[in-house]
Amino acid sequence: MNSQPLLERLQRQLKQSRQRLLVWVQGEQAWCHRQLETALSPLCSGQGVLLGQPLTAAAHAIPSLKAAELHRVLGTTLDFAVVDAYAGFNPNAFGQLCGTVRGGGVLLLLTPAADQWRGYDDPEYASLCVEPHTPADMKGHFLQYLCSILEGSDQLLCWSVAGATWPRLPQTADPEPAEQPCLSLDQAEAVKCVLAVAEQRRAALVLTADRGRGKSAALGIAAARLLQQGKRVILTAPSRAATSAVFERVQALAPDCMSQLLFASPDDLLHQPVQADLLLVDEAAAIPTPVLVELLNCCPRIVFSTTLHGYEGNGQGFALRFRHHLELYRPTTAEYRLETPIRWAGPDPLEHLSNRMLLLDVDTQPLPSPDQSLLLETIDQAQLSQDPALLRDLFALLLLAHYRTTPGDLRILLDSPNLQIHVLMQQGQPLACVLVAEEGELPDALAQTVWEGRRRPRGHLLPQTLIAQEGWGEVASWRAWRIMRIAVHPLLQQQGLGAQLLNELECMAVAAGVDYLGASFAASESLLAFWHHCGYRPVRLGEQRDPVAGTHALLVVRPVSDQVRQWLPRAQHWYGQSVLRRLPGALQDLEPERLTLLLGGLWQPDAADLDTLKRLRGFAQDQRTLESSLLPLSWLLEQTLPLWGQAGIGCDDQRLLCERILRQQPATAVAEPAGKRAQLQRLRNLCDQLLALLPSA
């Protein structure tokens, strides 16, 4: 049968309805590539890209990209896109590419025949394997899951050697016209809501939408109007690249004002005064909740905009995690949701199918009635891949509870060979879970090359960091369980479920002969308090500050075996000294109040020798200068710093001590107290107070 007329009719239908379609091309790779040049060529006209290796013998070249290069087309609009799964199926890249296809376009997915794709040696396995696992150990649960979704859908074109299965396209509704430059009534109303915030003395707005609804463009239209009125607008987001649609609208509508639209990272906003008539926070779901709370205090007029079901963070979880903070700090916060697609017409087959494939469409499930029948279950990946309802509920929990959950985590959940999944269940519904990576027991030869700085094998974050960064070669042979993710339903947080999970996990670790548990996380005050409460102790503070979370990465451990218990005091002493020595340099942006949390309780001060004590008293009680007393004062601060919190040293005083003595900054670097003379007197008083914390000689 000649399929050409049918394909051409399908293409016309897609163009007229502005719907998008997934075309699943199954067969040998060379055959799939030939189809793009021959039978399927009507669908491959216009601007497009290929995710994968370049076509071997193409009459017309389709630009090819690797997953790591996909940022080059994000923000653009394509007529078609090709994903060559022979080069590996990357869930994040697939989700991103789907969002670039315009209405009337297609996404072509090239795979082996379904029964072969399930067991295909996917090149992506190399990124999931950790020592000693190899791609041969992979069970292919994620590909099996994808095949089940695709085979169960009637809203795609399935193309193979055996023939074609044609799609059933849903009916679309004609959109109501909107006044330019807005492209939908939804978008016009969103612009109106943003402008209303700018007119009030103190106001906040939460703007939500699925992808393709023109949410970021609405921010750009509103920003252009405000800039033309002489207003000052600041834009923030997880990255500047995430705001391209905002800048494009301002460039189109108010090009003379482009230089006045300022972008600042969330971390920058927290460390410098914000002087703006309006602060726009785009893709807020991909920003940690503690940072969002601090941003509330940065500007009296603020708009939070986020994607509800997106690959950069899930807006459903954002709403639950952040809502009670809004009710507390901004109880009059307005909300608006854009429903009408702009880049394509709804209902859209590609959007529907890609959401199901990547579980981007999972929503909050009603919580069961509270009781005490919580059951801890260990779930293996084969069980999870064969239970779609449990998989959706578990991934929904991860999306809701953590701001950085992405489609890539779905593949890790199903395929990672060193992963354990432990879930607290109530009436068959997951309420909390912990994902654990098995690490450690590195071969001696490999561990030596890591210690020497010559190798960094994939995975094994805990032992590799401790060996390569801190020099603890002995940890290589120890068996570790790293807590990759701990998630508790947002409505059940602060009720002890996370601590309960960790306690149960420790019991399992003891039974399994594990040496230590550990985790690495952005060291916010709330997370520091949680992990400390659960008995985990810090052993490594990273140097790079996360520009989104605004904090440094902290590695903590919980000893299980005796050898780790004996090692921990040495590791903590080394950690404390490392933090102190890096304060003037790599850690110069570390806040003093966070420093005391990071070092709190690590050691007890030593007694001062007579010479040091005499010099300290000379500064505190007489008129010896600060410059002549820096050495003994530095010693005093280092000895007593872990006790500052319990001694009642306030935040301003902590900042004064750190900046003037430990970092040796000038008086102008400290706001309170103002002036060199006032600071000197306060330092003398504090020195006297700290001397009381030293033991008697």
CATH code for position 468: 3.40.630.30
Place of tokens 């504090």: 686
- Alpha carbons 117 and 124: distance in angstroms, whole number: 13
Confidence band, pLDDT 50/70/90 cuts, at residue 312? low
Residue 131 covered by a domain: yes
623 lies in the same domain as 594: no
Examine the domain organization and report whether 315 and 452 are in the same domain. no
Name which residue leads in pLDDT, 37 or 547: 37
Give the ranges where 478-591 is alpha helix by DSSP (H): 497-512, 525-533, 562-581
Pairing state between β 313-314 and 309-310: antiparallel
Which helix H or strand E contains 82, and what residues bound it? strand 78-84
pLDDT range class, residue 316, cuts 50, 70, 90: low
b/e per residue, 242-270, with b = 16+ CB within 10 A? bbbbbbebbeebbeebeebbebbbbbebb
Say if residues 302 and 197 touch (Cβ distance below 8 Å).
Answer: yes
Give the Cα separation of 99 and 211 in Å (integer): 7
Residue 239 has pLDDT above 90, yes or no: no
Within a domain: 353: no
Name which residue leads in pLDDT, 646 or 656: 656
> Which two three-digit tokens encode residue 623?
């008129």
Closest by CA position to 73, among listed 91, 110, 98, 44: 98
Find residue 235's DSSP bridge partners: 263, 280
Q: Are residues 419 and 499 in the same domain?
A: yes
Structural domain including 274 reads 185-338
How high is the pLDDT of residue 19? Answer: 95
pLDDT band at residue 329 using 50, 70 and 90 as cut-offs: confident
What local confidence, expressed as pLDDT, does residue 169 receive? 87
Q: Do 103 and 19 lie in a common domain? A: yes
DSSP 8-53: HHHHHHHHHHT--EEEEEES-HHHHHHHHHTTTGGGG-SSEEEESS
Place 191 in a pLDDT band, splitting at 50, 70 and 90.
Answer: very high
Return the beta strands (E) in 177-272 as ranges: 203-209, 233-236, 262-263
pLDDT of residue 371: 65
pLDDT at position 214, please? 92
Radius of gyration of the chain (CA): 29
Please give the Cα distance from 588 to 667 (Å, whole number): 16
- Residue that finishes a domain, picked among 165, 196, 218: 165
Task: Using DSSP, state whether 269 is helix, strand or coil.
Answer: helix
The answer to the question of residue 604 being in a domain is: no
CA 689 to chain centroid, in Å, comes to: 42
How is 134-178 classified by DSSP, letter by letter? Answer: -GGG---HHHHHHHHHHHT-SSEEEEETTEEE---PPP--PPPP-
pLDDT at position 45: 87
180 is in an annotated binding site: no
Residues 107 and 65 occupy one common structural domain: yes
113 is annotated as contributing to ligand binding: no
Does any domain span residue 346? no
DSSP-derived letter for residue 504 is: H
The mean of the pLDDT values for the chain is 90
Q: Is 454 annotated as a binding residue?
A: no
- CA-nearest of 190, 181, 180 to 216 is 190
pLDDT value of residue 334: 93
pLDDT surpassing 80 at residue 125: yes
CATH number at residue 67: 3.40.50.11040
- 80 contact partners, CB below 8 Å, separation of at least 6: 43, 44, 45, 46, 47, 48, 101, 105, 106, 107, 108
**How sure is the predictor about 56, in pLDDT bands with cuts at 50, 70 and 90?**
low
Q: Say if residue 150 is in the same domain as residue 192.
A: no
Mean pLDDT of the region 26-49: 92
Please tell me whether residues 217 and 331 are part of one structural domain: yes
At 597-650, the pLDDT tens digits run 899 878 888 888 899 999 999 999 999 999 999 999 999 999 999 999 888 899
- The answer to whether residue 363 sits within a structural domain is no
611 vs 42: CA distance, rounded Å? 88
CB burial readout 401-437, b (16+ within 10 A) else e: bbbbbbbbbbbbbbbbbbbbbbbbbbeebbbbbbbbb
Q: Is the pLDDT of residue 59 over 60?
A: no
Condensed to tens digits (0 to 9), the pLDDT of residues 426-482 reads 888 899 999 999 999 999 999 999 999 999 888 999 999 999 999 999 999 999 999
* Statement to judge: residues 55 and 131 lie in one domain: yes
Q: Does residue 178 form part of some domain?
A: no
Beta-sheet pairing, 156-160 with 203-209? unpaired
More confident residue, 601 or 175: 601
The model's pTM:
0.88
Q: What was the pLDDT predicted at 369?
A: 65
Is the predicted pLDDT of residue 220 greater than 80, yes or no?
A: yes
What is the reported pLDDT for 48?
A: 93
- The pLDDT tens digits for 64-99 are 999 888 888 877 889 999 999 999 999 999 999 999
Examine residue 51 and state whether it is found in any structural domain, yes or no: yes
97 lies in the same domain as 231:
no
> CA-based angle 22:24:26, to the nearest 5?
170
pLDDT at 31: 95
When pLDDT is averaged across residues 129-157 and rounded to a whole number, the result is: 94
Q: Are residues 21 and 145 in the same domain?
A: yes
- pLDDT for position 270: 86
Q: Is the pLDDT of residue 58 over 70?
A: no
- 389 known ligand binder: no
The count of domains in the chain is 4
Q: Which residues contact 537 (CB under 8 A, 6 or more apart)?
A: 556, 557, 558, 568, 572
Q: Looking at 85-99, 210-224, 303-317, 578-592, which range is the least confident one?
A: 303-317
Same domain, 620 and 595: no
Is 170 within the bounds of a domain?
no
- 532-545 pLDDT tens trace: 999 999 999 998 88
Q: Look up residue 135 and give its two tokens.
A: 């791609």
User: Is 287 in the same domain as 391?
Assistant: no
pLDDT tens, residue by residue, 666-675: 988 888 888 8
Averaging pLDDT over each range in 100-114, 234-248, 400-414, 638-652, which range is the top one?
100-114
Domain boundary among 136, 165, 194: 165
Overall average pLDDT of the 569-596 stretch: 90
pLDDT of 311 higher than 60 = no
Please identify, among 338, 360, 395, the residue that sits at the C-terminal boundary of a domain: 338
- Asked whether residue 379 is marked as a ligand-binding residue, the answer is no
